[in-house]
Structure formats: C-alpha cells, structure tokens
Amino acid sequence: MDLPHTDLFTRADAIAFGLTDDDLRRLRRTGELSVLRPGFYVPGAVMQSASPTERHSLLARSYLLSAPTGEVLSHVSAAIAWGFDIWQLPLDKVHMTHGLDYASKRRPLRILHGTTLERTERTTINGVPVTTAARTIVDIARTSSVERAVCVGDSALRSGHTDSDALSTAVESARFRTGISAARRAVSLMSGRSESVGESRSRMLFETLPLPTPLLNQWVYDGAGRFVGRVDFLFWEFKVIGEFDGESKYDSKRVLLDEKYREDRLRDLGWVVVRWNWRDLDDPRALLRRFEQAFTRAAGLPTPAGWFGDQRLAADQLPSFG
C-alpha cells in the first residue's frame, strides 16, 4: 500500500492521501508505518534506518508542525539542526523555547523552555526556526556538564557558525539565568582548534591532570622545510607529541600505512609520540603515567629538528633552516 511520499506526515495528511484509519492501523501492525507520536507517522523503513539524531530531528519537526508562531528549537535540538557534535547529550526530549519569561513546560517527549529570547537570538537553518549558534551553546552549557558543553562548543567554533565574541555576548545576556556559572566556565574552555570530540575530551582531561598545557593542531616541518604532518597536541618544551586515535581515523590500509610513515618521520626528527583512544580516556591515571614516561624519555634527547607552527605555510613563508 502506498504511503505519502515524505518521511514525516500527519493523520490529516494520510487521510488526504486516501488512507483510512483502518489502513493506518493495519500498516502499523505490519511494521510498514511507525508512530512518532500521536497523530504523526513515519514510514517503517525510514524509522528503522534512522540514527538517534535523525529520529530526534523527525520528532523535533513534528513539534514544529504543531507549534505556534514564535517557538523555536533550542538546546540539543537546535545543536542537531546546526550540525554540531552532541557527545552524550540526551536525545529523549525535544527542546524548544518560546521566548516568554515564565515557567518551562515538560512533557514526556518535549521541554518548552520559558526564557527570554531576543529577536537577535533567533534564526533559521534550512527553513527550521532555531536559536542562534551562540545562544544554543550557552543554553547547553547552562544545563549540561562542562565536558559535554565544551565538546559541542568546540564543534560550533570549528564550524565557523559562531566565535568567541558571540559566545561572550550570549553568556552576558544569560547572566541572570540558572546555570550561568557553569556556562561561563565551559565557554572559557572552548576552542575551535579541537577537531573532534575525542580531541575535546582529551583537552578537558588534560585540565584535570598534572600536565603542561599543549599547543593544539600544530603543523610540523623537518629540517629541510618539508611538511611532515599536523599533530593533535604538541608539548613542545618537553619534546612530546600527543595523538588521539578515533575509531574511524584509519578506515583503510593505505591510510594506516601513511599514518605509520608520518609517525616514523616525526620520531626521526626527535619527537616522542604518545597515542591514545576512547578507552584510554576512561583511565586517566594510566594515560598520565604514559605521558610521564614519555617526558622522561624525551628529556634525554636533543631538541627535535625542524620547525612547527599553528598554520600551514607556503615554502616562501617558512623560516630559514640550518
């Protein structure tokens, strides 16, 4: 039986398409149709293949379809619309803000936040009404852990949809709201130079360990001025490089071999390289010991050859090499 040619439709849409309530019940029994929430349907195949964020987006769209003018997606729902990383942010409820300063309304699948929303804090993404990137990040930072907030904030800065000035303005605008102290701390720790959730989490872990502050995403050159590689973390005074290995970083044998060659060249220059992955982030003491051992090994080595900087330079921009 044919369904409306869309990934989300209402009962009224189905009736207009020619389906009856009996048809809808039958399609639900066979699994060809899924109920997103009362009165809103998604083809079964779409629901089965949807990721958690895609399911959240479908639910968010269903609430926007029935929302009065002025309500916008906010918090994690807006972050998804923006395309930001949302590491460990709960997806069970859609978050919306209506801009009226009275108590929030909680429902099983939605939270309607009652906080002031200025015109300049509203925008649209692909036609979807949302809070601006900066307002979204500060709302998340007020209501989530610092680590989670920094992960999404780093993603927002990296994407170019916001910057530190906009975040500072958003923090100031929220100065009387619940959770603003946590938001201030989280925003102060955000950096667009972290290129993944793993790097953001690593940076936050370093904040809790007795480790020196590393330089982020440095471009390393050899003694002849040839580019060797971009590294995640550079403890330059200690002659140590840190690299976070994500699950999908090496998705082919060719990539793996290229990475091995790059690391061999870094070691040849005199750098000591420490690698870690997601599991290592859950064992901070073990990771700290590995860094301490690396610092000890590097202390007996000469200063690494070559040069490094925070951006890729053309040959005529490089310093002279001895």
User: What are the tens digits of pLDDT across the range 219-261?
Assistant: 999 988 889 999 999 999 999 999 999 765 555 677 778 788 8
Considering the entire predicted model, what is its pTM? 0.90
Q: What is the pLDDT of residue 321?
A: 45
Cite the residue boundaries of each domain of the chain with CATH code 3.40.960.10. Answer: 199-317
Write the CA distances from 149 to 110, 121, 268, 279, integer angstroms: 20, 19, 38, 21
Q: What is the pLDDT of residues 165-210, one digit of tens each?
A: 999 999 999 999 999 999 999 999 999 999 999 999 999 999 999 9
DSSP for residue 214: P
Q: Which CATH superfamily includes the segment(s) 199-317?
A: VSR Endonuclease (3.40.960.10)
Q: Distance between CA 78 and CA 51 in Å, rounded?
A: 17
| Mean pLDDT, the chain, whole residue set | 93
Q: Are 270 and 301 in contact (CB under 8 A)?
A: yes
For residue 146, give both structure tokens.
């610092």
Q: Distance between CA 82 and CA 288 in Å, rounded?
A: 35
Q: Are 148 and 100 in contact (CB under 8 A)?
A: no
Q: What is the pLDDT of residues 111-139, one digit of tens each?
A: 999 999 999 999 999 999 999 999 999 99
